[in-house]
Amino acid sequence: MYKMKFISVIAAAFAICAAAFMSSSCVSTDSDEPTDNYYSYGLSQVVDETGNAAANSSVILNIYAEAMGSTASPFMLTGKSGECDAKVKSECQSAETAIKEAVKAGKFGHYVFRVSRVDVSSGDAKTITVYSYTIN
């Protein structure tokens, strides 16, 4: 009787271990899987002695926000991280012409615009700079 109970316990333990192994092997840790990618953007440096820092900052942020189709930071894109990063970078690069025109039209100081993505694929959150542009 004890032998039967022991075998049942061993069989149950084996079944639980097998189920746990199979379910964990189905979870992909491939970073190329479509995921929710969270981006934030803003000015990481502002040195403007023209007295127009607030207005100039607003102009810069609005140009980039329009190019990215974003109404707020942070924002989310769903897809493969590399593809989403490339999309954000391309959209930001397309805004550079408008930024250069705005700088020519007014008095701007020194600004650095940056877009970052939070990467949690390794288990630890780390910030990855996807795009950075210096405006003088």
**Residue 118 lies inside a defined structural domain of this protein:** yes
User: What DSSP character marks residue 121?
Assistant: T
**Residue 18 lies inside a defined structural domain of this protein:** no
* pLDDT exceeds cutoff 70 at 25: no
Q: How confident is the model at residue 124 (pLDDT cuts 50, 70, 90)?
A: confident
pLDDT of amino acid 32: 62
Distances from the Cα of 9 to the Cα of 1, 3, 6, 46, 79, angstroms: 12, 10, 5, 67, 44
**Residue 3 lies inside a defined structural domain of this protein:** no
How many other CB atoms sit within 10 Å of the CB of residue 117? 20
User: For residue range 40-69, what is the model confidence (pLDDT) as tens digits?
Assistant: 999 999 999 888 999 999 999 999 999 999
* pLDDT exceeds cutoff 70 at 20: no
pLDDT of amino acid 29: 40
Nearest CA to 40 out of 134, 129, 135 is that of: 129
User: For residue range 89-116, what is the model confidence (pLDDT) as tens digits?
Assistant: 999 999 999 999 999 988 889 999 999 9
pLDDT of amino acid 60: 96
**Which tokens in the block code for residue 39?**
């981006």
How would you list the strands of the sheet with 75-79, edge to edge? 75-79, 35-47, 110-119, 126-135
Give the global pTM. Answer: 0.72
Number of domains within the chain:
1
**Residue 78 lies inside a defined structural domain of this protein:** yes
Q: Say which residue, 71 or 87, is predicted with more confidence.
A: 87
**Residue 24 lies inside a defined structural domain of this protein:** no
**Residue 13 lies inside a defined structural domain of this protein:** no
The domain of 49 spans 35-135
Please give the Cα distance from 16 to 8 (Å, whole number). Answer: 12
**Residue 1 lies inside a defined structural domain of this protein:** no
The answer, yes or no, to whether the previous bond of 74 is cis (omega within 30 of 0) is yes
**Residue 16 lies inside a defined structural domain of this protein:** no
pLDDT of amino acid 62: 96
pLDDT of amino acid 106: 84
